[in-house]
Structure 1
């Protein structure tokens, strides 16, 4: 995948940065940890401007995050709650959990969105509960924009600073992203097993 990303960026330049960062937020397996450091590397080679790659990457990433947020808002909590009542056991969630998410976002929503936009593996995911919790649009978009610009600028800046060694950045960040996703999967498995064991004990 890395070679395809680099070929796309070589051919499309700054426009390609925006397109790939948009796709990265809709299809997370495309990592921003590869896209933005390469964009920073292209700046170090005089092929792009730093402001250009940061603006393009931020716009693409912002649009992708907004897509998930508005999709979740469109589905809505009531429709989700009905689905959870029928199928939530496999996700180890209940309608009561949805109420807890609402309360949590009411208190920590802005900080959660801003913080998670800076964490590989959670950058895209945070848009979904924010939408389901009906987090105010203005707050969501503002903190998403701030977090997105910080993230893209940091990765591009590191790629620019590292120059020919920009690839050294993708590996460690890629492991962080994998560890976060793996951790979420393990939590889900732990809850699923515990839920199944609890049902057996009550029978």
Structure 2
């Protein structure tokens, strides 16, 4: 880690946002431990880690902006069990809670990267996105690096508990998806039993999801 230096820490965190070869929950506590040994400046580690987080997030925000919400909506409604109403509910939720989602999402594994894409799709102002992303990333990076610094030789404890947290997030997502699938299957069965068209909500009007 001392060979990588603060800039290397930032680069690893950047990669974690785009394609995570090594999770930041491993890199950042180790950077903190390295700082505790006097081989890295802790403030520089936090700053570069946050820069890496923000740069990676902005690239995904730009990807979301380029894709656009209507393109995703047209793909989504062709998927089994998904209709226009589902897309509208998701968009409405993000319009209402997007700021909090971007800020707190920076502290949640998996969502850390994904949340930047819908922010771009809904054309969240770049200045606001940068502010929320920088704040959320700085807090999370500081927590992990300071924890590694404080624990010293026991820095890997942070990685262990971060792994538990990630597993909880994964289980929660899986449970949510299963519950949603069961709900949608039952809904479609009720529609079929009532003789209703289950594809009646699959049309997307041009400009339907404009901000």
TM-score range, shorter chain: 0.7 to 0.9
Q: Which of these two proteins has the greater Rg computed from alpha carbons?
A: 2
Is the counterpart of residue 107 in structure 1 residue 96 in structure 2?
yes
Determine if contact 1:101/1:133 at 8 Å carries over to the other structure: no
Equivalent residue pairs, number = 192
**TM-score, normalised with respect to structure 1:** 0.86
> Per-residue deviation at 1:193?
3.1
**TM-score, normalised with respect to structure 2:** 0.83
Provide the alpha-carbon RMSD of the alignment.
1.9
Structure 1, gaps ≥5 residues long: 1-8
Inter-partner Cα distance in structure 1 for 2:88 and 2:127: 22
Inter-partner Cα distance in structure 1 for 2:189 and 2:89: 26
Paired residue for 1:165? 154
Q: Which has the higher helix share?
A: 1
Is the counterpart of residue 137 in structure 1 residue 126 in structure 2?
yes
> Per-residue deviation at 1:29?
6.2
Match of 1:18 among 10, 13, 37: 10
Determine if contact 1:62/1:145 at 8 Å carries over to the other structure: yes
Inter-partner Cα distance in structure 2 for 1:10 and 1:51: 14
Match of 1:128 among 117, 121, 125: 117
Q: Which moved more, 1:13-22 or 1:190-199?
A: 190-199
Structure 2, gaps ≥5 residues long: 194-211
Match of 1:96 among 85, 90, 106: 85
Paired residue for 2:187? 198
Cα deviation, 1:51-90, whole Å, max 9, x if unaligned, reads: 1111111111111111221111110011111111222x2x
> Per-residue deviation at 1:28?
4.1
Cα deviation, 1:2-38, whole Å, max 9, x if unaligned, reads: xxxxxxx354222221111011111246321111100
Inter-partner Cα distance in structure 2 for 1:198 and 1:107: 26
Cα 1:134/1:101, change in 2 over 3 Å: farther
Paired residue for 1:40? 32
